[in-house]
DNA sequence: TGGTTATTTTGAACAGGTTCAAAATTTCCC
DNA sequence: GGGAAATTTTGAACCTGTTCAAAATAACCA
């Protein structure tokens, strides 16, 4: 049966990924070798490459799995909080808490700044993951009544995603105890962000609005979803 | 004589770097192998590693050399322009023009986002290069009369440097013809930046100022040079 | 069931960055 | 000048990510 086969194949894939995460946790991403991962999973090196395109792809698979696992917690945040502030705080807290045990693993993904690289957060290959992520920000913005210029509004989810990516980047490399510096950065930037959104409604900001909308259009392309 | 020795050693180093740049230009950074670079310079692989810590370090050496070469052009910009706008435009244009022939080589440096990595733009190891770079922005800000809150002022050079880094990052991966998208981004963000600086002087912005200054302090540390 | 095809698994081979002990050369000092 | 010490140069060896042709296994169908 094709069903069973897929399932067994899936199991093997799972087994390799689990072994990889274990090895990553033990020696860190760099120090972990594909040979060790393979033998930890009881398979040959080639098998790991049959299921994953590269070593980095293992880190990406971890991210993808994490995204699925966080789904319910994120839904809960959106269901139980109303203001944008609460929602953003909630969403980002969920992510930090979920990734905390493997925080440094994310550094492997931060390495790919080139949007041409399949594992870059900006690549076409990661578009599905990215869009799923952005969708949460879309929902976070949706029914929170924001008085934001309409021209900027459609870009807000993507901007917030970008903001989150920046925070995560800072967090990944934050050596302070309990990553308190990131917490500090988060508190302060969020408060500025919300204040700016409030100020953006003032007529004085009109010239700024126009320019920002123009900029966003040329960076992100069409405003439509 | 110690002088001669240093000089000859320096020459060899130069010869390897030149060969490396040639090979990088021919096949790109990734495709260039250390063996090819070594043989192109008429030395053994080990020699390259005697002068440079890694392959990436060759790209960094290129950046460092470029920084020195751009010095006079940057000084000229500062000497012949008065407004912050003209100066920023000038400084960044000089850089783009200088790096244009080797634009993609900079991608090798963009790869190191981890501040722990010696070649990261944020690492202690690159502090000298970074500070030299920031100094130009300090000079650019210096005698252009800006009405900016005093609490933010000391961070401005570092912020402008960060802004420049972002632009260069965008430029390195910009596939549009003649990198026109970057030009567009530059024009629009600069106009927004200058408008924001003008708006920042308004008393209405006082609460924002305080928060921004607080944020900058916690990210950059002490305001003093 | 038995043969054929598709999927999965293997591990040796490859390529390239990096190391290092030894050799070659230069410097330094008596 | 000559011998010790420092510097420079060498290239084979190492390690690791990755590939790939062949082997093993599973799925499918007559």
CA A116 – CA B111 distance, rounded (Å): 12
In chain B, residues 124-163 whose CB comes closer than 8 Å to chain A? none
The tens digit of pLDDT for each residue in A172-212 reads 999 999 999 999 999 999 999 999 888 888 888 888 888 99
Q: If you average pLDDT over every residue of chain B, what do you get?
A: 91
For the cut 50, the answer to whether the pLDDT of residue A84 exceeds it is: yes
Residue A1: band (very low, low, confident or very high) from pLDDT cuts 50, 70, 90: very low
pLDDT in tens, A12-49: 999 999 999 999 999 999 999 999 999 999 999 999 99
Residue A4 is predicted with a pLDDT of 42
pLDDT at residue B90, rounded to an integer: 97
- Is B69 within 8 Å of chain A by CB? no
Closest CA to A185 of A159, A160, A200, A163: A163
Q: What is the pLDDT of residues A54-71, one digit of tens each?
A: 999 999 999 999 999 999
pTM attached to this predicted model:
0.93
Across the interface, whether the CB atoms of A111 and B114 are under 8 A apart is answered yes
B219 contacts on A by Cβ (under 8 Å): 185
Query: What pLDDT score was predicted for residue A34?
Result: 97
- The token duo for B136 is 């130009």
pLDDT band with cut points at 50, 70 and 90 for residue B145:
confident
Q: Which of A189, A199, A211 sits opposite B215 (nearest CB)?
A: A189
- Measured between alpha carbons, how far is residue B206 from residues A198, B61, B199 in Å? 14, 44, 11
CA A44 to C1' C3 (Å) is 29
Rounded (5°) CA angle B76-B81-B87: 85
For chain A, the average pLDDT equals: 91
**Confidence tier at A6 by pLDDT (50, 70, 90):** low
- When pLDDT is averaged across residues A60-87 and rounded to a whole number, the result is 95
Does B34 contact strand D, using a CB cutoff of 7 Å? no
Residue B221 has pLDDT above 90, yes or no: no
Mutation target to probe the A interface, by most A beta carbons within 10 A, among B151, B188, B199, B213 is B188
DSSP for A88-100?
Answer: HHHHHHHHHHHHG
Q: Would you say B208 and A199 are in contact if contact means Cβ atoms under 8 Å apart?
A: yes
Cα–Cα distances in Å, from A159 out to A136, A187, B18, B166? 12, 17, 42, 16
Q: Is the pLDDT of residue A3 over 60?
A: no
Q: How confident is the model at residue B30 (pLDDT cuts 50, 70, 90)?
A: very high
State how far the Cα of B160 lies from the Cα of B162, in Å rounded to an integer. 5
């Amino acid at each position: 049966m094709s069903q069973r086969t897929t399932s067994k194949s899936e199991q093997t894939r799972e087994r390799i990924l689990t072994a990889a995460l274990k090895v990553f946790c033990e020696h860190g991403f760099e120090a972990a070798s594909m040979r060790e991962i393979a033998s930890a999973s009881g398979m040959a090196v080639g098998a790991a490459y049959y299921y994953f395109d590269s070593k980095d792809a293992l880190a990406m698979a971890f991210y993808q799995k994490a995204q699925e696992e966080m789904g319910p917690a994120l839904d809960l945040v959106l269901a139980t909080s109303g203001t944008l502030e609460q929602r953003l705080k909630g969403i980002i807290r969920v992510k930090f808490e979920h990734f905390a045990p493997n925080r440094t693993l994310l550094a492997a993904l931060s390495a790919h700044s080139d949007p041409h690289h399949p594992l870059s957060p900006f690549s076409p290959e990661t578009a599905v993951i990215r869009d799923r992520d952005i969708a949460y920000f879309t929902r976070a913005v949706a029914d929170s009544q924001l008085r934001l210029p309409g021209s900027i509004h459609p870009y807000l989810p993507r901007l917030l995603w970008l903001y989150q990516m920046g925070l995560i980047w800072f967090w990944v490399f934050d050596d302070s105890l309990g990553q308190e510096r990131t917490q500090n950065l988060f508190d302060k930037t969020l408060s500025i962000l919300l204040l700016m959104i409030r100020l953006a409604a003032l007529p004085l900001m009109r010239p700024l609005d126009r320019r920002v909308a123009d900029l966003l259009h040329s960076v992100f392309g069409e405003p439509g979803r």
